[in-house]
Structure formats: structure tokens, C-alpha cells
Structure 1
């Protein structure tokens, strides 16, 4: 297998598994000739060159991109098919760019040491609850950011989905607005409704 292809597969495998699972040995073992016995393996070079964030052995920008992808997936899992089919475009055009901005800001600009072991919650809540996902410190288990969506029903205005987030700075007390998406005059289905 070509050296560049093997390196690409190792990188993709590491990103896909967040570095929690080692790539298959077939990808990391190189056939050494007498000339290159002193060279490092491609995996060792990759690990040495990249920023070690939460022991995942991927650089910070790649980790943030992966976290953002997971945030989007968690959001659509929260919506379920019934709601996602209606609000998908508005969410992707209006709300998600603001989520990206908030997550990137907190992970890039705020206290780096505080965010070196962050992860995203895996299961959004269904029913009528607000939680989409939380970003938390893996070492302490404490939340850092909480992203929620609330159903609002102002008098004679129909139903709206209000997206907002909370931060640890004020013990998650204040709502920081991301925006609202109009649903309809009819009551929306529960979150995670698929049929």
C-alpha cells in the first residue's frame, strides 16, 4: 500500500474514533528496508506532529470540527424526522452557524486548560424536554456548555422553537439566545418523533 494512502487511512481512522481506538496494525506497520530502519513509523510521526487534546492525538482544529459534526448529528437526532423535515433548512442556515461560533469561541478563545478534556453528551432527550446536548469536561464530569431548545407558544402566534445555550460562568442560570424557528399554529410533535 502506498505510504501516503496508509498515512491518510491512519489519520481518518483516528479522527473517526476520536483516537480512542488504535488503527489496525496493518496500517501502522511499515516494511523497513535497511535504509529506513531508523525512521519513525507513520503513526509515531503523526502523533508527534499534532497537538495532544484530551489524549486523542489529533490537532485542536480537527477535534473542534469533529465536535461540531457530532453537535449537528445530536441536534438532528433530537428533532426526529417529523420536526427535522420542517425546520432543517432554517436550523442549518440560522441556528447551527451560531452554535458553531459559540463552541469554537469557547474552545479556542477561552481558558484553554479548562477545555483540554472536553466531550459532547451522546443522547439528546426526547419528549418535551429541552436538552439537545451538553459539552462537558471528561475528567470532572462537569458541564461547560449546555445547548437547549424550548417550545414557545406566544398568544396567537403559533409555536416557535427557541434555541439557546447556558454556560458554567453563571452556573447555567441565564439563557443566551441563538435564535427561534417558527413551527406552525398546530402543536409540534414530541422531540425524537420519527413517524
Structure 2
């Protein structure tokens, strides 16, 4: 199993169970010429609900995991107050566009390069924009960044502007995914 998939599954399981179940040993072990070592030093407890026996190529595995993580990290960023209001519209409008961007990203890499792609572990709270980034574990550099910001056009109220940035233009241009209306009232901070 690719290293990025193991790490992502450990993070996913931890997030889903709020740390209540121990991780399976096969996700924590690294195979180094026959020697088994663990690189998991955190005592976090994790659930064992895992995407089992995915028998597809690494691009398909990456797409499945990335789209799942996109939804999970987005809702973690929203927090319960915001998620309650925008959940349906996000799932119907924004999430499919995120999936399209991730799929087009996967087409740019060969099977070997896919093994080095990873998804950032935590969205940022407060007023910052980061939902998640996809980066290369080989170079440590971001490839695509998914963000959301709060916009307030005059006399219209607040909108959540979903967009992404790519390494191709040095993360300068905003590529729109869409906007969701909040209300005229100020929205709470992210992750609240």
C-alpha cells in the first residue's frame, strides 16, 4: 500500500472517531527490507473503519481518498454553525467542482508520482482561508490549494467564496469554484 495512503487512512480514522479506537498495526508499520518499524509515536486512538482492499490503480485510490478528505476537511473547517446552514449547497455545487479539479490534477501525474502526493492534515480556523492543500511529499511543495474566504459585497450580505490556487501560476490567480450566500449577519469564525 502506498505510504501516502497509509498516512491518510490513519488521519482519516483519527478524525472520524475523535481518537477513540487504536489504529490497526498494518497501517502503522513500514516495510524496510523485511524489518517492521512503526513511525506512529502519537498515542492518538483511531477507529478501524478503513477503505479495505481497494484493488484499483493508485490514481483511483488517490481520487477516492482525496474526494473523501475534501468533504471531511471542508466540514471540519465550517464548524457546526456554518455547516448546518450551507451543507446541502456545498455538497451539491462546490464539492463536485472540487472533485473535478482533483481528477484533473491526478491526470497530470504518472503512477510513481501519485505515490508522493499527500493532503494536508488540518484546515485553519479563525478568519484564514485554508481548507486543505495537496502537496508532494518528495519535495514538500504545494501543488494545489483549496481555500474559502468570506466576502461582503456592498448591501448584499456575506458570501463564502470557494476557490483554489495552483503551482502553475505560483498560486497567484484565484480559480473560482463558486459562492454560497450566508446572510446579512456576520458569520462565525471558521471551526466554531
**Deviation digits for residues 116-161 of structure 1 (CA, Å, limit 9, x no counterpart):** 4101001100000000000000111100000000100000000000
Aligned mates of 2:7, 2:172 — CA distance in 1: 37
Q: What is the CA-CA distance between 1:23 and the residue it aligns to?
A: 6.3
Unpaired segments ≥5 residues, structure 2: 1-5, 12-23, 29-52
Q: Which residue of 2 aligns with 1:160?
A: 159
Q: Which residue of 2 aligns with 1:74?
A: 73
Q: Which residue of 2 aligns with 1:178?
A: 177
Provide the secondary structure at the position in 2 that maps to 1:60.
helix
Please report the TM-score for the alignment, with normalisation by the length of structure 2. 0.71
Q: Which residue of 1 aligns with 2:119?
A: 120
Which aligned runs of 4 or more in structure 1 are off by greater than 6 angstroms? none
Aligned mates of 2:134, 2:8 — CA distance in 1: 18
* Higher Rg: 1
1:22 aligns with 2:31: no
Provide the secondary structure at the position in 2 that maps to 1:22.
helix
Aligned mates of 1:149, 1:127 — CA distance in 2: 12
Q: Which residue of 2 aligns with 1:29?
A: none
Which of 106, 110, 124 is the matching residue for 2:108? 110
Q: CA RMSD in A?
A: 2.6
Aligned mates of 1:125, 1:101 — CA distance in 2: 23
**Deviation digits for residues 82-134 of structure 1 (CA, Å, limit 9, x no counterpart):** 00000000000000000000001111x21436544101001100000000000
Q: What is the CA-CA distance between 1:22 and the residue it aligns to?
A: 1.8
Asked if 2 retains the 8 angstrom alpha-carbon contact of 1:165 and 1:177, the reply is yes
Show the 5 A alignment for 1:135-150: 135-150=134-149
Q: Which residue of 2 aligns with 1:101?
A: 100
